Structure 1
Amino acid sequence: MVAAPFSPLGSLSVFDSYDETPHIGTRFPSKSVQLSRLLEAPNSDELLKDLATLVSHRGVVFFTDQDIDIEKQKELGSRLGKLAGNPATSGLHVHPVSEQTPELAADVSVISSDGGIARVGYVKSTRASNGWHADITFEPVPSDYAILKMHTLPPIGGDTLWASGYEAYDKLSPAYQRFLEGLTALHDGSGFIEYANQQGLTINEPRGSPENIGAKLQAVHPVIRTHPVTGFKTLFVNKGFTIRIVELHEEESQDVLEYLTRHVSENHDMQVRFRWSKNDVAIWDNRCTFHTATNDYSGRRQGNRVVSIGEKPYFDPTSKSRRVALELNA
């Protein structure tokens, strides 16, 4: 007898889905699977808890041509985090430079080619790999889940890529894993402070947690963190916001961060690339993934993103890697 492969689908197994790659990304291809209906189903809590678990295991999950409106998108963001066990003090993130509008709210981020947070720090003539990041890791209590619905797309281009932090950890040598475990890193969002100053904006606070206050936009987190839902170890530094490994000399830190960010961007076997269609939705877990948009398009590209706040990152030395826990072949 051979045990069946592990599946994190749970109650979602009644819907057709497939894995995009071995390590990251699951897609529900039929538009008959609507997130709005999951929210209203009699077993809604079960379905949404299993969805949160699926996202935490697979990193990012894609849904086709969704009718979910912004209020339901916010409800989904809130319920995913709560059903997955985030603290009672965690809510939806208010981005440091989001502005309240009649159509949306401060806890909704407009991801737009027109400008705003999606274009902060963007330089056209540079490596595309410089865009890799995880959302808001500069907060003392950063994000768990993020939900993006794209409603306006260029005729071609504008794909988004995600990479697995679990696999990033697993691809390191055991000696290098041990070296990184227990180290901490400084995450910095000063680019948003510069943008706020340029635009005459005030840094918003609090930002989804009573600990996410002040205009410094810096936090120290473990380099390797333990995911509270899966229990797996994951790499938790990123090109966009991580500026220093605290315990190392400055030059040592620069060398290690350069290697780790290249490790994420250059290993395409732990990445998934998603080509958007109108009204598609992606839900990802910022605790165990990195992502970047592809700025290869002309024309308008816009969507609405909701980001929920999770828990303070921690490292449990008794936790296991994904490959070890699931007994996957090397």
Structure 2
Amino acid sequence: MVAAPFSPLGSLSVYNSYDETPHIGTRFPSKSMQLSRILTAPNSDELLKDLATLVAHRGVVFFTDQDIDIVRQKELGTRLGELAGKPSTSTLHIHPISEQTPELTADVSVISSEGGIARTGYSKSARASNGWHTDITFEPVPSDYAILKMHTLPAVGGDTLWASGYEAYDKLSPAYQKFLEGLTALHDGGGFRELAQQENRIINDPRGSPENTGSHLQAVHPVIRTHPVTGFKSLFVNKGFTKRIVELTEDESDDLLAYLFRHVSENHDMQVRFRWAKNDVAIWDNRCTFHTATNDYEGLRQGNRVVSIGEKPFLDPNSQSRRKVLGLEGNNAVSSKKLM
């Protein structure tokens, strides 16, 4: 007999879903599956804990035509992290340059093609791969979960891509994995500092954790981190915010980061691409994914994002790779056979 494949769905298995790719992305295609109802269900804690686990395993999960409002979206972001075991001092993130309005509080980020957070540093003439990033890794205590509901879309275009940090780690050779596990990296949110200065804004402080304070917007994190929910190792550097490998010379650091950034952007077999429809929701795990928007459209593209703060990144040397734990084929051990 063959063992059934691992499924992280738990109590969510009562809803129709499918995996978008083998390594990342799960979709609930029916609009009858509403996150607003899960929040108020009699067994909501069980459902939400299983949802947090599913997102931790699959990286990003997609929901169709959701009626969830911003108050419920914030509640969802809070409860996912709490039920997954994040520290009590971690709440929703307040972006360094978020502005509180009568409609939206500072712990909601407007993701808009008109500018602001979503377009910081964007250049139309630059390579699209320059947009790959992981949210707010410049914070000492960065994000666990993020939730984006897209309410305004162009006629065509504006897809978002996500890549798996688990698979990014697993595609490396054992020797390279071991090398990276001894390194740490500096993450910097300098683009937001510059925008705040240009627009005469004050950097918000604190930002969802007592440790996320000050205007320097810098933090040092392990290059390989252990996911606290799955126990899997994940690559944790990103083109948007990672500036320097601490233990290497500047030239060595530049070369290594350039390779790792290409590793994420050029391996389409560990990516998923999502075409948005109005009121779709994506929930992703910033501890084990990278993402980028596709700036190929004309017109307004806008949504509201809630980002939860998790725990300080760490590497447990006894943690393992996703492929090894799940018994997937094609691990990257180097063949001992000599070339003839």
TM-score when scaled to structure 1? 1.00
Question: How far did residue 2 of structure 1 move?
Answer: 1.4
Which stretch of structure 1 is more off in the superposition, 174-183 or 130-139?
Answer: 174-183
Deviations 1:43-75 (A, max 9, x none): 000000000000000000000000000000000
Q: Which residue is equivalent to 1:232? A: 232
1:103 alignment partner in structure 2: 103
1:1-330, aligned counterparts within 5 Å?
A: 1-330=1-330
**In the aligned structure 2, how far is the partner of 1:267 from the partner of 1:97?**
32
Tell me the number of residue pairs that the alignment of Structure 1 and Structure 2 aligns: 330
SS at 1:27's partner residue?
strand
Q: Which amino acid aligns with 1:299?
A: G
Distance 1:127 1:190 in 2: 20
Distance 2:198 2:325 in 1: 48
Gaps of 5+ in 1: none
Question: What is the distance in 1 between the residues matched to 2:303 and 2:72?
Answer: 15
> Equivalent residue of 2:211, what SS?
coil
2-side partners of 1:197 and 1:102: how far apart?
24
| Offset of residue 249 of structure 1 | 0.6
TM norm structure 2 = 0.97
Between the aligned partners of 1:140 and 1:179, the Cα distance in structure 2 is 23
Q: What CA deviation, in whole Å up to 9, does each residue of 1:86-140 have, x standing for no partner?
A: 0000000000000000000100000000111001000000100000000000000
Q: What letter is aligned with 1:268?
A: H
Give distance in 1, aligned partners of 2:129 and 2:13. 35
Deviation at 1:182, TM superposition (A): 2.1
What amino acid maps onto 1:64 in structure 2? T
Distance 2:43 2:66 in 1: 20
1:21-48 deviations in whole A, cap 9, x for unaligned?
A: 0000000000000000000000000000
For 1:130 and 1:251, locate their aligned partners in 2 and report how far apart those are by CA, in whole Å: 20
Q: Which secondary structure does the structure 1 equivalent of 2:185 belong to?
A: strand
> Whole-Å Cα distance in 2 between the matches of residues 106 and 44 of structure 1?
27
Question: 1:273 offset after TM fit, Å?
Answer: 0.2
1:211 Cα offset (Å): 0.2
Contact 1:26–1:61 under 8 Å retained in 2: yes
Deviation at residue 200 of structure 1 after TM alignment = 1.1
**RMSD of Structure 2 on Structure 1 (CA):** 0.3
Distance 1:33 1:162 in 2: 22
Partners of 2:122 and 2:145 lie apart in 1 by 24
| Distance apart, 1:3 and its partner CA | 1.0
Percent of pairs identical after alignment? Answer: 83
Alignment partners' CA distance in 1, 2:197 and 2:112: 20
Give the SS at the match of 1:168: helix
Unaligned runs of 5+ in 2: 331-340
Distance in structure 1 (CA, Å) of the matches to 2:254 and 2:327: 34
